[in-house]
Chain A
């Protein structure tokens, strides 16, 4: 019989496999539990695929959305708040992926491993977003009928104060979206779009130049309004008018394409690639579980295309949020806070239910470079955009007018930051097919910043 004792260890092996598998399940459950419960088929959380519990507020306590048991949510009473915060809050059917109603479903429900999705009162949690509804309304009205994106955030704490995307609609009265619709109305352009940047990309080229260009202090360029290249007879870089003799600071202030083309070529495409990556423009950022789309770039070898790349054209596509973060890094000495959309989560009785901690990005730019660039961007405002256009704001910025071809008006960009201890904001404004960056996008930026600062 003793023989059997040893052989029976095989049964123990089987028992051990069952136990091991069970532990494996518990491990998966701990890691993925909140994802599993957020699946729309879960009737504890969703009614007919619509989340049925929890409520969402802005940073000042303004009601943005209250979910009800029937699955039909109650939005803010104000039409302008509803449209302006649509992409931050979400639509009824969950089409908008970045909407809090969908992206933070698990948090709305108040899932935790101990009690699961069960709550004695059945009401779920209150999520206070970091956005300021009034600022979003200002942004949305300033964008008007244009498509675009406005994003403002605090580069020290990461709080996103404004995240408005256009086109948007009233979620209580959603329009018929046809199958072949290309407007991208469900798209949150701030976090998910990739758009031709144009001249705002010169901030990256500038960083490269500051660090890598020898004798930058003595560099000048004589801009005649156009620049020819060896590799192409037809294709050439042009400026809106000849800028004459410009040094580096002036070239950025007037956004001289030809001058920057020259700088780009002397830096070489490898440096451009290196600094683009360093600036985080090819990364995806994780904003409370929402992943931004990384930008995409081609780094060609023909000199005319290299030049176009360096001034934000060719195949450059930038994600607005990542550019805003880069601006924040310039403001903050090299590292910015990673954006954060959730201010706090409370239970129905007001008790806190969740911890937030802020994270920092990697070093996107060296601190001395940031300091130099920051001053140059302030100089842009003084020399070109006009301080009177931004009353009482210590602002540093760069505009962009990105050609999109096809006979369409260019994209208007305006990005930068405030050097203000009390209002450490970085921002980016995109007005698609808006025309001149400084005028159109700059004006939108000013309105929103005024609303936030006052």
Chain B
């Protein structure tokens, strides 16, 4: 850090010279800012609109892994790695014969192409090649699976069918080359640097423009690298880089000396993202790591409880050698890993029980630390994941009810929180006390209008926690309502995309992980944005990607990897491994 400060000091006269060039003609500054605000909005709309549209219009064409030949002669394609066979309409292969149970058994494939059949405690029992089976049993192509007397045959996809399938998927999956958008984003970043110099003058440390340059280089390098690795779709990366650009802008206006540190965390985040994506390609090793993650999370939380320093009401930070980080943020990634499960695992009740225990432990630690915002986020994510796993609506209501009761208890014993609730909805009546931050956010935010004042020209950044909790206000004030809404829309889009990816999903593990991760993002964004404008009580949580903060940025990139792992569009994602046959086909006759 000292390197950066001394660099800033040394280059101050240089920065002042540059800013003098701009200040010499004050009308230039005015015209530049007035015009630039509109250009930023146009660029942002262009970049995000294209990315969002591509994600929302994504056609999730399922991959056909094999066929199940039914006694009536039909061949039902198996479009997921994990399929439920039964009489129920919600089954993946519907066998409409009365002796078959509603959820009779599962037929699952691992990434090496080996299928296993598991009977789900059906009434009529199951047989493979005329031998009764009670546990998960390997099945080969040509084997006859008999469900309560109904004979089905597992039929592999022929080479011809695979080629046709591949061709169809390639045609329907639209590629998304990032180059035009990266160019637009680069222009955005250059103009942003100029705007900051115009606004702040010689005060701006040179690390700021250098960091933006660093971000630009990172963007191009990473996307090129992914392209080399034959990835074809970059919507999520573009959205993430755009939000990171906003992050650097906000850090530059609120805490200019921290910009270089933020760049480093962005780089680390991208590295984490990449590593996680590669790791997630292999389902079996993904499943194995969960035990370790439980242990690691428990350890992290206990360290936090023991050594956490009380900062601004919550003991959620740990300082090591000058760096402070929030362990609970990293537990979020582990939480998603641990909560997700394959289809067979969903049918084993005890798994959900273990997850429930783990969640309770996390929530307990967070409550003791006093970080109720993060506790709420964990709780909602738990609700979503457990509902996805069990489908039991009644359990959902019960748990929510229990949490509500627990919440009331908390209010009784923590007056700080009760005060926040008392102010909720009445920020203007307590404008100089409990509603201080919210009223300043609304006042400054409305001043920005649709296109904002220009980066660096606001005053909200002087308010406490503006670059973390009130970041939506800075977006409205300096960037305008349009860009602020687009940032939230980007998060919503990720959620919608995750839900739609289920249709083409391979294993329930990835789809539960993606839905869990986006629910976490969405609820966190809700708490952050609505809390800042007095629609919810104010809690101290960050806006994913956009808020200033190392742990927050790292974890946002980490969670994005789960989304990438569920993106099964043809060749779209480095986190989704192409199957060997595809590579044969691609390299061979095609």
- Decide if A and B are genuine partners: yes
State the CA gap A22–B529 with chains docked (Å): 9
B529 touches A21 (CB 8 A): yes
Q: Is the interface of A mostly helix, strand, loop or mixed?
A: helix
Chain B's closest residue to A17 (CB) is B526
B248 at the interface (CB under 8 A from A): no
A24 touches B80 (CB 8 A): no
Within the complex, what minimum Cβ distance (angstroms) separates B443 from chain A?
4
- The contact of A8 among B380, B452, B511, by CB within 8 Å, is B511
B70 at the interface (CB under 8 A from A): no
B447 touches A2 (CB 8 A): no
B298 at the interface (CB under 8 A from A): no
The interface-forming segment of B6-14, B46-54, B491-499 is B491-499
Interface string of B471-512 (1 = CB under 8 A from A): 000000000110001001001100110110011010010011
From known contacts A8-B388, A22-B488, A37-B443, infer whether A2 and B90 are also in contact, taking CB-CB under 8 Å. yes
A22 touches B495 (CB 8 A): no
Interface string of A1-33 (1 = CB under 8 A from B): 111111111111011011101101110110011
Mark out the residues of chain B between 512 and 532 whose CB falls within 8 Å of any chain A CB in the assembled complex. 512, 515, 518-519, 522-523, 525-526, 529-530
State the CA gap A229–B447 with chains docked (Å): 64
B522 touches A1 (CB 8 A): no
- The contact of A116 among B31, B448, B519, B529, by CB within 8 Å, is B448
- The contact of A118 among B384, B439, B447, B488, by CB within 8 Å, is B447
- The contact of A1 among B448, B485, B505, B533, by CB within 8 Å, is B505
The interface-forming segment of A41-49, A70-78, A240-248, A294-302 is A41-49
State the CA gap A418–B502 with chains docked (Å): 79
A39 touches B431 (CB 8 A): yes
State the CA gap A18–B489 with chains docked (Å): 9
Interface string of B181-202 (1 = CB under 8 A from A): 0000000000000000000000
Chain A's closest residue to B30 (CB) is A120
Chain B's closest residue to A115 (CB) is B449
B499 touches A1 (CB 8 A): no
List the A side residues contacting B518 at CB < 8 Å. 11, 15
State the CA gap A44–B459 with chains docked (Å): 8
Q: Is the interface of B mostly helix, strand, loop or mixed?
A: helix
Chain A's closest residue to B498 (CB) is A11
B80 touches A37 (CB 8 A): no
B343 at the interface (CB under 8 A from A): yes
Mark out the residues of chain A between 267 and 301 whose CB falls within 8 Å of any chain B CB in the assembled complex. none
List the A side residues contacting B515 at CB < 8 Å. 8, 11
B146 at the interface (CB under 8 A from A): no
A44 touches B525 (CB 8 A): no
List the B side residues contacting A28 at CB < 8 Å. 533
State the CA gap A45–B440 with chains docked (Å): 13
B459 touches A7 (CB 8 A): no
- The contact of B450 among A17, A24, A39, A115, by CB within 8 Å, is A115
A21 touches B453 (CB 8 A): no
B451 touches A115 (CB 8 A): yes
A117 at the interface (CB under 8 A from B): yes
Of A1, A43, A111, most B-chain CB atoms within 10 Å: A1
- The contact of B522 among A9, A15, A29, A34, by CB within 8 Å, is A15
List the B side residues contacting A8 at CB < 8 Å. 388, 498-499, 502, 511, 515
B313 at the interface (CB under 8 A from A): no
List the A side residues contacting B538 at CB < 8 Å. none
- The contact of B443 among A21, A24, A39, A118, by CB within 8 Å, is A39
Mark out the residues of chain B between 408 and 465 whose CB falls within 8 Å of any chain A CB in the assembled complex. 431, 439-440, 442-453, 459
Within the complex, what minimum Cβ distance (angstroms) separates B470 from chain A?
14
- The contact of A14 among B80, B480, B503, B519, by CB within 8 Å, is B519
A408 at the interface (CB under 8 A from B): no
List the B side residues contacting A45 at CB < 8 Å. 447
B491 touches A29 (CB 8 A): no
Query: Count of chain B residues with Cβ under 8 Å from any Cβ of A?
Result: 60
State the CA gap A24–B443 with chains docked (Å): 17
B492 touches A19 (CB 8 A): yes
State the CA gap A113–B448 with chains docked (Å): 8
A114 touches B485 (CB 8 A): no
A118 touches B453 (CB 8 A): yes
- The contact of A37 among B384, B388, B446, B452, by CB within 8 Å, is B446
State the CA gap A314–B512 with chains docked (Å): 76
List the A side residues contacting B495 at CB < 8 Å. 11-12, 14-15, 18
A44 touches B444 (CB 8 A): yes
- The contact of B444 among A9, A19, A42, A121, by CB within 8 Å, is A42
State the CA gap A15–B380 with chains docked (Å): 13
Chain A's closest residue to B506 (CB) is A1
Mark out the residues of chain A between 87 and 129 whose CB falls within 8 Å of any chain B CB in the assembled complex. 111-118, 120-121
A14 touches B384 (CB 8 A): yes
From known contacts A9-B499, A22-B485, A120-B34, infer whether A14 and B523 are also in contact, taking CB-CB under 8 Å. yes
A25 touches B511 (CB 8 A): no
Chain B's closest residue to A23 (CB) is B485
B91 touches A2 (CB 8 A): yes
List the A side residues contacting B30 at CB < 8 Å. 120-121
B15 at the interface (CB under 8 A from A): no
B440 touches A41 (CB 8 A): yes
Chain B's closest residue to A5 (CB) is B502
Chain B's closest residue to A112 (CB) is B449
State the CA gap A195–B529 with chains docked (Å): 49
A36 at the interface (CB under 8 A from B): yes
From known contacts A37-B443, A114-B449, A116-B447, infer whether A14 and B535 are also in contact, taking CB-CB under 8 Å. no
State the CA gap A6–B390 with chains docked (Å): 12
B92 at the interface (CB under 8 A from A): yes
B555 at the interface (CB under 8 A from A): no
Mark out the residues of chain B between 126 and 161 whose CB falls within 8 Å of any chain A CB in the assembled complex. none
List the B side residues contacting A6 at CB < 8 Å. 90
State the CA gap A400–B219 with chains docked (Å): 81
B522 touches A14 (CB 8 A): yes
B450 touches A114 (CB 8 A): yes
B447 touches A44 (CB 8 A): yes
B113 at the interface (CB under 8 A from A): no
B391 at the interface (CB under 8 A from A): yes
List the B side residues contacting A21 at CB < 8 Å. 526, 529-530, 535
State the CA gap A15–B452 with chains docked (Å): 26
A26 touches B519 (CB 8 A): no
From known contacts A15-B495, A22-B485, infer whether A4 and B519 are also in contact, taking CB-CB under 8 Å. no
List the B side residues contacting A114 at CB < 8 Å. 449-451
List the A side residues contacting B444 at CB < 8 Å. 42, 44
List the B side residues contacting A42 at CB < 8 Å. 443-444, 447
From known contacts A15-B492, A42-B443, infer whether A4 and B522 are also in contact, taking CB-CB under 8 Å. no
List the A side residues contacting B512 at CB < 8 Å. 4
A18 touches B488 (CB 8 A): yes
State the CA gap A9–B90 with chains docked (Å): 14
A18 touches B491 (CB 8 A): yes
State the CA gap A415–B57 with chains docked (Å): 71
State the CA gap A15–B521 with chains docked (Å): 10
A18 touches B439 (CB 8 A): no
- The contact of B499 among A12, A17, A18, by CB within 8 Å, is A12
Within the complex, what minimum Cβ distance (angstroms) separates A79 from chain B?
36
B84 at the interface (CB under 8 A from A): yes
State the CA gap A330–B445 with chains docked (Å): 47
State the CA gap A4–B515 with chains docked (Å): 10
6 contacts between A and B (CB under 8 A): A1-B92, A8-B498, A18-B525, A24-B535, A42-B443, A116-B452
A residues within 8 Å of B by Cβ? 1-12, 14-15, 17-19, 21-22, 24-26, 28-29, 32-34, 36-37, 39, 41-45, 111-118, 120-121
- List the 9 closest pairs (A to B, CB-CB), nearest first: A116-B449, A43-B459, A15-B495, A33-B446, A117-B447, A1-B80, A36-B446, A42-B443, A115-B449
B residues within 8 Å of A by Cβ? 30-31, 34, 37, 80, 82-84, 90-92, 343, 380, 384, 387-388, 391, 431, 439-440, 442-453, 459, 480-481, 485, 488, 491-492, 495-496, 498-499, 502-503, 505, 508, 511-512, 515, 518-519, 522-523, 525-526, 529-530, 533, 535
**4 further contact pairs, Cβ within 8 A, besides A2-B90, A8-B511:** A1-B511, A2-B91, A21-B530, A41-B439
